[in-house]
Amino acid sequence: MGVGFYSPDETWPKSEIRYFEERAMGGMGLILTPFVRVHGSLASIPIIGMYDDTFIPTHEEFVKRVPQARREDLHADRPHWRKTRERRPSAVYSENYVVKPRELTTGELEMLVESFIKAAARARKAGYDGVELHGAHTYLVGAMMSPALNKRTDKYGGSFEKRMRFPKEIVDGIHSEVPGYPVGFKFSAHEQIEGGVDIPLGIEIAKYMHKAGVVYLHVASTASTIEVFSKLPSVPPLYIPRNPRSTG
């Protein structure tokens, strides 16, 4: 659950901890946190930080007060609708971006892989029972897997295996850095953008990440900025028919 109670310094705000305490009182067995940022340089809006050891105490407090929050959602960037130039897998025009983004360099992607791994290690130290790698809604991990948004020609783009290299390196690195630590994987099985991930490709992604050793798959749908126009919204509102994704 992402509720938007963010602190300027990206620590857990008291209001959000209290919100999740109330949810836990209702008998929840497990709570997955809102996504946390793994690297400060990609900050576009405040969320929850986990890119430095100084964030660990605030996460320890969260886990202590909300013991059902046993999975932390690891995330790099959050595309937004302001007219600023983001850093993305490829410099391509897309209905999913407000403006044409700048392509991340190979070195920047390698640095981000390490950032995810270090954030997972901090999550373990803070007391979370596991982490979830957020690869849905064409955030960075999702965009790296998307044939519509990843047009790279280096080791992180081209074939299916190369597009999957980024999430696999993260999962492999977490397994190496924190042996036995559970890693789940969230991804969009249907992006609803031309040339993007569709159901057959989504199935291949699921098989690939299962083989990579994730302990569960969290299946979502849609790209990010077109989500409000999607026939298959990631969070279906009350005023549309039930089970909208079951007929997609």
What pLDDT, in 10s, does the model give residues 199-211? 999 999 999 999 9
What pLDDT, in 10s, does the model give residues 48-74? 999 999 999 999 999 999 887 767 777
Active site residues: 139
What pLDDT, in 10s, does the model give residues 4-56? 788 889 999 999 999 999 888 877 888 888 889 998 866 566 789 999 999 99
Asked whether the predicted pLDDT for residue 226 surpasses 60, the reply is no
Q: How far apart are CA 41 and CA 51, in angstroms?
A: 10
* pLDDT value of residue 82: 43
Nearest to 86 by CA among 140, 22, 29: 140
* pLDDT value of residue 83: 44
Which residues on neighbouring strands pair with residue 37, listed in sequence order? 49, 75
* pTM, 2 dp: 0.88
Q: Judge residue 43's burial from the number of C-beta atoms within 10 Å of its C-beta, 0-12 exposed, 13-18 middle, 19 or more buried.
A: middle
DSSP 126-142: HT-SEEEEEE-TTSHHH
What pLDDT, in 10s, does the model give residues 117-136? 999 999 999 999 999 999 99
* pLDDT value of residue 187: 94
Ordered by where they begin, the domains of the chain are 14-22+30-247 (3.20.20.70)
Query: Any idea which residue has 């790279």 for tokens?
Result: 152
